[in-house]
């Protein structure tokens, strides 16, 4: 007879945290959200890859491209670039992130020296930027011959036909940096010379970037940004159990810091083979997570197969219809609690700590704190990130409200058959995800700041200043359905809804 669990499985929304004692030192600004991403011998060595915040963005077309990866790394987390695209284009996205130099921007206002003041004014109107690079061919990658800034012309006193070459600041009067200039050095040059911008040119005099005075302050405004040893942003990438022999070398070559096998169900020989291949070719130098699993056995299987982290979650994603279609899955909270216990048991036995990622099903910000308290080292989110400016999808106005598109990897739109393939290959026989809209929510930076402010506050309520401390101290309780109702506002009429809805 089939094994039947005695207890039902539960979701995040069925749990609450019971506050513990907090001392005066326990303030949100003192909370450290640093967390480990890949396995290590805890107590004996440092974790080789950590994040400054416990959030990663989902391996999905509608979530994680290079723009998202840069924005999230600025805040201290990691994006996993989606794998349901050609190897070349995934590798290109990874290399775009790695070659992005924080604070170094490619000029978007460029003009030729024989253009006129009228052209400058039109360009300023179009781009909104007052610093214009004058290059021989008028492109962002042309030979720099000068710069025009607002102080170089007076519209009221000059003819609109006046040539740019006659009023620009020419190259021999400009201070420039070369390709080896670091952001810190660029900033020092800007301050020492009282500049607003510093052009960076290569040895042939070709314009490469601008560093702007204001961008350095932005850079300083991201104290948690996640950088590698060469000061490049850290980025992850999704792989599958089919074309890994070609995809992994391309992604590693492009500079991916961590990979993750993207699969709806990870307790499989396919994952073991993929992990073994990566270990055989690269040893421990390439980091690769695996999943998804929802129980102890699944975790132990992947940990023993060599996974650097294990991802938990089947059927809980907001766009997911796997449970309806196939009847597989488990309440995310129950799955996570069981897997985290297995992780601790594995650590006791082997001395190796394999981080756990809770994937999918985060609806409210406090679910992040719950997942951490239940033992997750970090959380993967799809819907959450899809709502921001930085996600790759269209922003639309539907009936007066702004929305963004968000679709599942198992939907007909994404057709990520490798994620769902059980050996049939090269097609999706039925959908496991939907195509949807989510309310547009603005910038990643503002939203992540608010979410993490809540996480930090709740951690203080538990007397915890770090994630491991939260996991040790947190007390969780299941709540009844009546007390869930009690948790929202109740028995009052919201002013903006009007009294007519009071009856
Ligand atoms: P969300 O944060 O609740 O939106 O869940 C995102 C997670 O759902 C992803 O990280 C995947 O694990 C999972 N997922 C993505 N696409 C699909 C799909 O089409 N069907 C089922 N699960 C999906």
User: How many other C-beta atoms are found inside a 10 Å radius of the C-beta of residue 488?
Assistant: 6
501 has pLDDT over 60 = no
Answer yes or no: is the C-beta of 266 below 6 A from any ligand 1 atom: no
CA pair distance 290, 304, nearest whole angstrom:
11
Q: Are 72 and 385 in contact (CB under 8 A)?
A: yes
Q: What confidence tens digit (pLDDT) does each residue in 491-500 have?
A: 888 888 776 6
247 is catalytic: no
419 is catalytic: yes
Residue to probe by mutation, ligand 1, list 61, 318, 322, 408, most atoms within 8 Å of CB: 408
203 has pLDDT over 60 = yes
CA pair distance 349, 310, nearest whole angstrom:
17
Answer yes or no: is the C-beta of 262 below 6 A from any ligand 1 atom: no
Q: In this structure, what are the phi and psi dihedrals at residue 282, rounded to the nearest 5 degrees?
A: -120, 0
Residue to probe by mutation, ligand 1, list 13, 56, 57, 58, most atoms within 8 Å of CB: 58
> Looking at ligand 1, which atom is closest to the CA of residue 406?
4
Cis check for the bond before 292: say yes or no (omega within 30 of 0).
yes
Same topology, domains 12-101+225-486 and 110-216? Answer is: no
- Residue among 270, 266, 334, 273 at smallest CA distance from 300: 266
Domain ranges (residues) in the chain: 12-101+225-486, 110-216
Query: Long-range contacts of range 23-26, CB-CB < 8 Å, 24 or more positions apart?
Result: 23/463, 25/465, 26/460, 26/463, 26/464, 26/465
- Give percent of the chain above pLDDT 70: 98
Answer yes or no: is the C-beta of 64 below 6 A from any ligand 1 atom: no
Span 110-216: which CATH code? 3.10.580.10
More confident residue, 312 or 415: 312
- Give percent of the chain above pLDDT 90: 79
More confident residue, 488 or 302: 302
Is CATH 3.40.50.10860 the classification given to domain 12-101+225-486?
no
Token pair of 417, please? 């058959």
What is the Cβ-side half-sphere exposure of residue 394, based on CA atoms within 13 angstroms? Answer: 6
DSSP labels for 318-387? TTB-HHHHH-----HHHHHHHHHHHHHHHHHHHSEE--EEEES---SHHHHHHHHHTT-SEEEESHHHHT
Q: Which residues of 148-159 are buried (b: 16+ CB within 10 A; e: fewer)?
A: beeebbeeeeee
Q: In a 3-state reduction of DSSP, which class is residue 273? A: helix
Token pair of 44, please? 């004996």
Distance 57 CA to ligand 1 centre (A): 11
Answer yes or no: is the C-beta of 320 below 6 A from any ligand 1 atom: yes
Once rounded to an integer, what is the mean pLDDT over residues 232-249? 96
pLDDT band at 481 (very low <50, low <70, confident <90, very high): confident
Once rounded to an integer, what is the mean pLDDT over residues 121-149? 93
pLDDT band at 503 (very low <50, low <70, confident <90, very high): very low
Answer yes or no: is the C-beta of 60 below 6 A from any ligand 1 atom: yes
> Looking at ligand 1, which atom is closest to the CA of residue 431?
19
Distance 218 CA to ligand 1 centre (A): 33
pLDDT score recorded for residue 424 = 63
Answer yes or no: is the C-beta of 265 below 6 A from any ligand 1 atom: no
Q: In a 3-state reduction of DSSP, which class is residue 78? A: strand
Residue to probe by mutation, ligand 1, list 63, 262, 313, 317, most atoms within 8 Å of CB: 317
Per mean pLDDT, which range of 173-177, 234-238, 416-420, 436-440 is the poorest? Answer: 416-420
Q: What confidence tens digit (pLDDT) does each residue in 367-410 have?
A: 999 999 999 999 999 999 999 999 999 999 999 999 999 999 99
Distance 264 CA to ligand 1 centre (A): 8
Q: Which residues of 434-450 are buried (b: 16+ CB within 10 A; e: fewer)?
A: bebbbebbeebbebbee
Q: What average pLDDT is seen over the chain? A: 93
Q: Are 254 and 69 in contact (CB under 8 A)?
A: no
Answer yes or no: is the C-beta of 198 below 6 A from any ligand 1 atom: no
CA distances from 340 to 143, 355, 372, 456 (A): 57, 9, 10, 21
């Amino acid at each position: 007879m089939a094994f039947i669990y005695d207890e039902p499985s539960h979701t995040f929304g069925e749990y609450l945290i019971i506050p513990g004692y907090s001392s005066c030192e326990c303030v949100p600004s003192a909370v450290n959200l640093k967390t480990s991403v890949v396995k290590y011998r805890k107590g004996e060595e440092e974790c080789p890859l950590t994040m400054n915040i416990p959030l990663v963005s989902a391996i999905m077309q509608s979530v994680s491209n290079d723009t998202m990866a840069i924005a999230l790394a600025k805040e201290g987390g990691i994006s996993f670039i989606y794998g349901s695209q050609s190897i070349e284009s995934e590798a290109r996205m990874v290399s775009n992130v790695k070659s992005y130099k924080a604070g170094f921007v490619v000029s978007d206002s460029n003009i030729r020296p024989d253009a006129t003041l009228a052209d400058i004014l039109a360009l300023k109107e179009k781009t909104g930027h007052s610093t214009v690079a004058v290059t021989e061919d008028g492109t962002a990658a042309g030979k720099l011959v000068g710069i025009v800034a607002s102080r170089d012309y007076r519209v009221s006193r000059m003819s609109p036909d006046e040539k740019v070459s006659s009023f620009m600041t020419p190259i021999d009067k400009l201070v420039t940096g070369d390709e080896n200039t670091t952001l810190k050095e660029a900033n020092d040059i800007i301050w020492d010379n009282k500049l607003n911008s510093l052009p960076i040119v290569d040895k042939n005099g070709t314009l490469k970037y601008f560093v702007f005075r204001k961008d350095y302050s932005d850079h300083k405004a991201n104290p948690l940004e996640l950088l590698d040893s060469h000061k490049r942003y850290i980025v992850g990438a999704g792989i599958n159990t089919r074309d890994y022999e070609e995809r992994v070398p391309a992604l590693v070559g492009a500079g991916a810091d961590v990979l993750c096998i993207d699969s709806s169900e990870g307790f499989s020989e396919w994952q073991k083979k993929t992990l073994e291949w990566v270990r055989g070719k690269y040893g421990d130098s390439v980091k690769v997570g695996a999943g998804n699993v929802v129980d102890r056995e699944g975790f132990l299987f992947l940990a023993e197969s060599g996974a650097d982290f294990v991802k938990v979650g089947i059927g809980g994603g907001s766009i997911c219809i796997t449970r309806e279609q196939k009847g597989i899955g488990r309440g995310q909270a129950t799955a996570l609690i069981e897997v985290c216990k297995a992780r601790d048991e594995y650590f006791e036995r082997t001395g190796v700590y394999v981080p756990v990622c809770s994937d999918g099903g985060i609806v409210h910000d406090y679910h992040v704190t719950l997942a951490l308290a239940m033992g997750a080292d970090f959380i993967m989110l799809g819907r959450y990130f899809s709502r921001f400016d930085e996600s790759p999808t269209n922003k639309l106005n539907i009936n007066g409200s702004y929305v963004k598109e968000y679709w599942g990897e198992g939907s007909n739109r994404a057709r990520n058959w490798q994620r769902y393939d059980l050996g049939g290959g090269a097609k999706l026989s039925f959908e496991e995800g939907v195509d949807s809209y989510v309310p547009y929510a603005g910038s990643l930076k503002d939203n992540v700041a608010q979410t993490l402010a809540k996480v930090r506050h709740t951690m203080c309520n538990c007397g915890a200043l770090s994630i491991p401390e939260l996991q040790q101290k947190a007390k969780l309780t299941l709540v009844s359905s009546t007390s869930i109702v009690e948790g929202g506002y109740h028995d009052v009429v919201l002013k903006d809804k009007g009294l007519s809805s009071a009856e």
